[in-house]
Structure 1
Amino acid sequence: MPRHVIDAVRAKLEQFEGLRLTAYRDAVGVLTIGYGHTGPDVRPGLTIDRARADQLLAQDLAEAESAVSRLVKVPLSDNQFGALVSFAFNVGTSGFAGSTLLKKLNAGNYDAVPGELAKWNKGTVNGKKVAIPGLTNRRAAEAGIWAAGAHVSSNYVPATPTPAGSWLAKPETIAGGVSVATAVAGAANNGGPIAWAVAAVITGTLIVAAIHFIRRLRESAS
């Protein structure tokens, strides 16, 4: 079943391209119409309606979606897929196919994608390669879409169980925790500034210990 970009990404792509119903030349002089549509069917003075613009967008988008689905060999979240489709839509499927970005991604280097996207911000103007503000902004936005999906998946991911042998799962640890908690509650309920001070110290120590333990778990999982 063909994969398609989610609605939020499609809306962003439409925003990137903008809608023009009369043919115009883009920043590098290429005849364009609709939502960034180019090709031999676009001629000077051509005018279309909104329905035709939507039709051309669906056609061009399907080509980019197919190229990303076919060429990328590693799993992608919805946002990651959408960012690459927007990129391929803009630079062309042949440009995407031959890019260093694709090579690095297929090698498993997900972190390289934002930096590689940023390199594609230039166009040829008067025979010279120059940075184009619109492309710079678009690459940054695509990197943002990519990053938004970096740790999110459409698939269910089961929770990681507590590692076997972890002191957190030991009965004596649980019993000790209950005893300390009881002591804190009793000290506070007995009243008096000293009791409250002792309770505050014990509680603070427990919080610091818990934070430290959570950090160690995260470090060991990364």
Structure 2
Amino acid sequence: MNPRLQLSRTAIDLIKRFEGYRRTAARLPDGGWTIGYGHTRSARAGAQVSEADAEALLIYDLIDVAHALNEHVYTPLTQNQFDALASFAFNIGVPALRTSGVMMRLNEGALLQAASAMELWRRAEFEGERIVVDSLVRRRAAEKALFLTPEGDAWAPAPSPVLRPMLDAETGAGLLREAPATLEAPLDGDSVSPVRTSPPPPQPVHAPLSLHRPAAFLDEEAPAEEPAPTAGWMTAPLSIGDGAPRFPLHSAPIPRAAIGPMVILALLGAVLFAGGLYWTFDIAPAAHLSRAGALTVGWIAGLAGVGFFSLAAYRLLQRLVRDDDAS
């Protein structure tokens, strides 16, 4: 049995930094109320809270988060990993965490993959559109950095002259395909209404085809304009910790180049299986071959067909699970 961990001051400070302090209760779009550092359970119209009491409410909300992590994460965690997951769970909600790819990878013992999967929870719905939000990208980066920070002096050396980094071309799902939008929700007032503070991305302009442009760059996306940096760590509270998931993931589709070999392998398996049956029951009896020899060849072909088909199906499902982190 893994020891039950408790949240440290690091987790509380990280959550406070990104949630922001709201002194007076504000109405949420769903009709509820929020106050303090994303507290909703006892918030009501006209309520006010001091910073000290807001922190106490946050610690109270985090009791359920810590309990869920201790109950549903079976892989031993360090204090930094536990704190980072607490901030992540408070942001997306415990129900979303329990069914997410992050939880699946945690319980597989794939901690590095779990840390990377956290970064994909970076979209929010704004004006009927799911967009990548600047503050969520920064929050995921901070949580991932804390998750990957070893305790004490357990840093593994990676000397640059020895381990020269190379581009990983297989992480397309983790790349930003668009410039993140900067959304802010003022921390005063009686209602919460996110406002876009960065200009909307420009519409793509299709330039005429140039005979001097290499063909390899014809499908390349135009570089998006970087958003203006925001001052400090403080961002608007764009989520509620004990509610439903606020930021569903938009999963990247499987490239056709990855599906093609799997389909060919599945077809080959089907042909071998059908060929084995045809050999055993049609060709072998007509050629007056021995029953033992016919059955042996038929079984080999049939088993090979089943194996190829099963391998293709497994690889396809594996790719689907790899690309799907919003479950």
TM-score (norm 1): 0.61
Q: Distance in 2 between matches of 1:30 and 1:66?
A: 25
Query: What is the CA distance between 1:127 and its match in structure 2?
Result: 2.5
Query: What is the CA distance between 1:29 and its match in structure 2?
Result: 9.6
Query: What is the CA distance between 1:2 and its match in structure 2?
Result: 4.9
Alpha-carbon distance change, 86 to 106 in structure 1, aligned in 2, over 3 angstroms:
same
Asked whether 1:20 is paired with 2:22, we answer yes
Q: Percent identity over the alignment?
A: 33
1:71-122 deviation line (CA, Å, top 9, x unaligned): 1000101100110011111111111111111011101111112221111111
Q: Which segments of 5 or more consecutive residues in structure 2 lack a partner in the other structure?
A: 155-161, 163-327
Name the residue aligned to 1:198: none
Asked whether 1:70 is paired with 2:76, we answer no
Q: Aligned runs of 1:61-210 on 2, under 5 Å?
A: 61-149=62-150, 152=151
Q: Distance in 1 between matches of 2:81 and 2:152?
A: 10
Query: What is the CA distance between 1:153 and its match in structure 2?
Result: 7.5
Q: Please state whether the residue corresponding to 1:47 is helix, strand or coil.
A: coil
Q: 2:13 aligns with which of 11, 17, 21?
A: 11
Q: Distance in 2 between matches of 1:76 and 1:27?
A: 36
Aligned pairs, number: 153
Q: Distance in 2 between matches of 1:97 and 1:31?
A: 25
Superposition RMSD on alpha carbons, in Å? 2.7
1:7-40 deviation line (CA, Å, top 9, x unaligned): 223222221222111123689997421112124x
Q: Distance in 1 between matches of 2:93 and 2:68?
A: 10
Name the residue aligned to 1:164: none
Q: Please state whether the residue corresponding to 1:148 is helix, strand or coil.
A: coil
Query: What is the CA distance between 1:138 and its match in structure 2?
Result: 0.4
Which structure exhibits the higher relative contact order, with contacts defined as CA atoms closer than 8 Å and separated by 6 or more residues? 2
Q: Distance in 2 between matches of 1:112 and 1:153?
A: 22
Q: Distance in 2 between matches of 1:71 and 1:137?
A: 26
Greater Cα offset, 44-53 or 132-141:
44-53
Q: Which segments of 5 or more consecutive residues in structure 1 lack a partner in the other structure?
A: 158-214, 216-222
User: Does structure 1 retain, via aligned residues, the 8 Å contact 2:12–2:59?
Assistant: no
